Structure 1
Amino acid sequence: MSRKVIITCAVTGGIHTPSMSPHLPITPSEIAEAAIGAREAGAAIVHLHARNPETGQPDQSPEAYEQFLGVIKQRSDVVINITTGGAPTMLVEERLAPAAVFKPEVASLNMGSMNFGIYPILDKLKKFKHDWEEPYIEGSRDRVFRNTFADIEGILATCADNNTRFEIECYDIGHLYTLHHFVQRGLVTPPFFVQSVFGILGGIGAHPEDVLHMRRTADRLFGDDYRWSVLGAGKHQMPIATQSMLLGGHLRVGLEDSLHAGRGRLAKSNAEQVTIAREMIEHMGFEVATPDEAREILNLKGGDKVDF
């Protein structure tokens, strides 16, 4: 039986700014259309952030999410994943609010505090559409993305009664050990959906040996109790996705993680990246998982048990 590979698409995120690409979804309708387009191209899961439609700033208010969650659900069977990461400038209470209100099938959960440096972008980006963009990018030079043990425990406790499962984002080896700590305490139950993140300045690198190190460590800590996925930042997106497939894993693409669809060429849509990933999967002899197959693989509660 052919192996099923889950494609997650992170359609806008909270890191890239409007001046970096004219194709970055900003408004509620753009985010909804991006999510639906990603599903049509082959994504089983969409990882969602919201933005201020006028300025493009990250907006983690439930009211911002309300404008597109219902539209996506009505027009698609895709699994909806709501971030609790938001943006590194936000307090955890603000970041958690949409997942607490809407009780999605999946929410993201970062496994540790870290430096999250995007300021090298300023070496190339010199013109900005909005006043907030340059200080937001420059501020990452002296900013810690906070995800303490107490923060993580609070998110787990808030979502426990909602049967929301987690895309557990691990940016370094220590984050796997933090997950193991919460597993031992019984606060996270299998199957764990571990999203290993490569190539962020402040986290693990994007060398093939880094990917292997993450995979081997997760295997040793969790055995058969986890499902592994990867995302590579920027130019590392597709090479790391390919390595994950060869190692038996799943993958994440989308304009949150990379703005490109080839060397020096901006992706015109999230669907374009999903299409590239789908074609790679199929060329390797694997099959792309449908949303319902992803629900079964990850033991999700189903789209009829969310509050939107």
Structure 2
Amino acid sequence: MSKSRKVIVSCALTGAIHTPSMSPYLPVTPDEIIAEGQRAVEAGAAILHVHARDPETGRPDQSVEAFARILPALKETGAVINITTGGSPFMDVSERAAPALHYAPELASLNMGSMNFGLYPMLARFPDLEQQWERDHLENSRNVIFKNTFEDIGFILDNGGKNGTRFEFECYDIGHLYSLNHMTKLKGLTGPLFVQSVFGLLGGIGGHPEDVQMMRRTADRLLGDRYQWSVLGAGANQLRIAAMSAAMGGHIRVGLEDSLWAGPGEKATSSAQQVLKVGEIISGLGLTIASPDEARDLLGLKGAGEVRF
């Protein structure tokens, strides 16, 4: 009997999109983020995608010091730790990249193009935000460009690459795949490239099944057999797009960064709940969830012993 294909499940624990008033389950403090990571790994996540927050207000915090309170304990889970360089659309690239460049993780996210990043529609869905910064965070997204120029991308690639860090290339639209293909040639990047296709955020590609198929076909045409494909479906798109990816030979990302929901009208009580749900999808397709070490092999990572935390 042939071996079952391994599917990598990434879990994004808190992010910088949702705010504390939106869900009592969104982790904010270091202890809460660590506990979320531990539950996610126990549920089957091989990769933990990490942001930090101010423990008092819940604001995104991209300081090196904020990550120092989180990373060592998350490393103890055995999972691959993926530090964001996306941070928040309101930060410049040097601030966003600082934790990944300081701690030299096995994996870091890297956004592959500038874009509108519209969060303001959530104002209608969450009218009772408790803190003024939460309302400002959403309202101000009407007039912000999430800046990821070729120079920004090259800065992170050059400086992170010196540390042996590999990248989760976050592609929010078709053009981002072309930018990735360009940068692989410009910088001499070798595979396997870890491509995270992001669906359903306002300003990027939508969450229609045809959008998913188009991203996959384009990545195949541009990158051939040099990449591993994963998907991130925002909000209500999460589980449907996860199922499509698993069926199409790809990997999956879930977590409260990407969706606060476990089903229609049902708030997720933990990212681990979402991990368990995609685990059921994976096993139902006759596939197997990859362990952290299997994910390291698939992605060509340097190993947890080579990080600086």
1-structure distance, mates of 2:132, 2:206: 31
2-structure distance, mates of 1:293, 1:67: 27
**Residue 177 of structure 2 is aligned to residue 176 of structure 1:** yes
2-structure distance, mates of 1:5, 1:297: 10
Give the letter for the 2:64 counterpart.
P
Task: Give CA-to-partner distance per residue, 1:198-218, whole Å, 9 cap, x none.
Answer: 000000011100000000000
Partner residue in 1 for 2:17: 15
Instruction: Give the match's secondary structure for 1:219.
Output: helix
Identity of aligned residues (%): 59
**Residue 197 of structure 2 is aligned to residue 221 of structure 1:** no
TM-score of the pair, normalised by structure 1: 0.99
TM-score of the pair, normalised by structure 2: 0.98
**Residue 37 of structure 2 is aligned to residue 35 of structure 1:** yes
> Given that residues 156 and 187 in structure 1 are in contact (C-alpha distance below 8 angstroms), is that contact kept between their aligned partners in structure 2?
no
Displacement, 1:126? 1.3
1-structure distance, mates of 2:53, 2:24: 15
2-structure distance, mates of 1:25, 1:295: 26
Partner residue in 1 for 2:162: 161
Structure 1 segments, 4+ long, off by >3 Å, are none
Counting only pairs closer than 5 Å after superposition, residues 29-178 of structure 1 correspond to structure 2 as 29-74=31-76, 76-178=77-179
Counting only pairs closer than 5 Å after superposition, residues 265-284 of structure 1 correspond to structure 2 as 265-284=266-285
Displacement, 1:39? 0.4
Task: Give CA-to-partner distance per residue, 1:272-297, whole Å, 9 cap, x none.
Answer: 00000111101111000000000000
Q: Which runs of 5+ in 1 are unaligned?
A: none
Displacement, 1:71? 1.1
1-structure distance, mates of 2:190, 2:306: 19
2-structure distance, mates of 1:133, 1:214: 32
2-structure distance, mates of 1:105, 1:170: 20
Task: Give CA-to-partner distance per residue, 1:82-139, whole Å, 9 cap, x none.
Answer: 0000000001100000001000000000000000101011112111222200011001
Displacement, 1:187? 4.1
1-structure distance, mates of 2:234, 2:125: 17
Partner residue in 1 for 2:239: 238
Give the letter for the 1:66 counterpart.
A
> Given that residues 14 and 58 in structure 1 are in contact (C-alpha distance below 8 angstroms), is that contact kept between their aligned partners in structure 2?
yes
Displacement, 1:186? 3.0
2-structure distance, mates of 1:186, 1:67: 33
2-structure distance, mates of 1:124, 1:215: 31
Instruction: Give the match's secondary structure for 2:262.
Output: coil
Give the letter for the 1:20 counterpart.
M
Q: Which runs of 5+ in 2 are unaligned?
A: none
2-structure distance, mates of 1:231, 1:80: 17
**Residue 205 of structure 2 is aligned to residue 204 of structure 1:** yes
Task: Give CA-to-partner distance per residue, 1:10-42, whole Å, 9 cap, x none.
Answer: 010000000110000000010111111100000
**Paired residues, what number?**
307
Partner residue in 2 for 1:195: 196
1-structure distance, mates of 2:64, 2:34: 15
Instruction: Give the match's secondary structure for 1:279.
Output: helix
**Residue 249 of structure 2 is aligned to residue 248 of structure 1:** yes
For the aligned residues, what is the CA RMSD?
0.7
The farther-off stretch of 286-295 and 179-188 is 179-188
